[in-house]
Structure 1
Amino acid sequence: MSDEFPRPYAEEPPAPEPVSGLRLVRTRPWGVAAAVLITFVVTVAYPLTVNALMTSPDYDFGPAFWAAGVTIDALPEVVSLTIVAALAGRRVTVGRALGFLVASIGLVFAQSLLFTALPFSTLLEAGLPLEVLSPVIHALTLLAHGLLGIVLFPPVSGRSNLWGLVVASVAVAVLNAVELWTPVPVIDALPLGWPAVDAVLLVGWAIAVLVTSPSAAPAWVATPSDLGRQDP
């Protein structure tokens, strides 16, 4: 009779390492580049659509206009997070992506209502200028989008790291505010420089939001039965 005790977990292969963060950029650079390109296209689509609608002879500033604008405005976050989640091997399905789009449209609509309803004159008198309020609201919206992405696109292995969500959302909101309030000479009606920067920021934000930390190794506690003896 052998003195060696069986180790049922010794031969099990380790769980696959989550693909996320810098490892995602190193292993799938072309996928990340494609995500930036697609995000750039949908980012440019919003001002192009608004300009086309406003210059149309049948232009009507009604519910259809608002619905189209809000839907297109929600696409950059949805597209960047969905593509990065697919690249990272998260659980991405058509139903989850559509649900994410619907929820994101609701978030963008709520953000628009908040900007419309805020009494800016009262807030300015209280010492809260638009330069402060705008990035705060934007950061909260990005946080909400990121939480939706984490919930709807869960990792196959490992666990989500919320610190990446918070830091990336605040950083992107601040950088977008700097971009908005930095005076630059406008050569064309739609300069492509800022949308390209926004696309890179959003894909970087999505990668930071969906960073997956490896799960902690379970601590197997040896019991008397595991050791092959019984209590008296």
Structure 2
Amino acid sequence: MSVKTPIQTVAVVVIVALVATSVAGVAPVAADDDDPPPPPHAFYGEVYLDGEPAPAGTEIVAKIDGEERGSIVVEEDGAYGGPTVGDAKLTVSGESGAEITFHVDGVEAEQTATWESGTNTELHLVAGDEPAGGLPPAPDDDDDAGDADGTDEPDDGADDDTGESDSNGGGTDGDDAGDDSTDQHDDGGDDAADDSAMTGFGVVVALVGLLSIATFVARRR
């Protein structure tokens, strides 16, 4: 029966350790697949159905590519959700840049929106005939005509230059919060991967050093 030399023994240990280190390095990557979904896009505002304020009990459904992504029931005639933190909102899950359509009691509204994570958007919805008195002014309509679709955000640059406060600052704050949350989450994942890589590298260096010492001792004998 053959007897393993110290070099052979250490070599086996090194190989086993390298395999274990490789597996440990892959684990954080697999864990990233289980990341929580990004914060939803939330909506509130006035709602009209066939020319009249939508009555309480009317259901509003948000869809992306025909798939339901969120819903809310009107509690007060002509309005859904509210602007304050404690108010209910139509929260929509989705992917960045996706187009959202809105359906009021099964009737598709004229308005659409572009999905953005962590954003609060005031959006007035009209399904069927328009109200006799016309549509209410869209949020920030004077600043940006695109806001009528609820897809554009307040012009922060203009506010900074003039020193004026933005009445819809809450929506922008929601954007910032969502971005910060996403950035922190990404940084956390990168840090975990870097720590794992550094740990594996340290193990390899230590084992290579051990192998060198064993080789030196064997040659001395």
TM over 0.5: no
Q: Which has the higher helix share?
A: 1
Indicate the structure (1 or 2) with the bigger Cα radius of gyration.
2
Higher relative contact order (Cα pairs below 8 Å, separated by 6+ residues): 1
TM-score normalised by L of structure 2: 0.29
TM-score normalised by L of structure 1: 0.28
Q: Which has the higher strand share?
A: 2
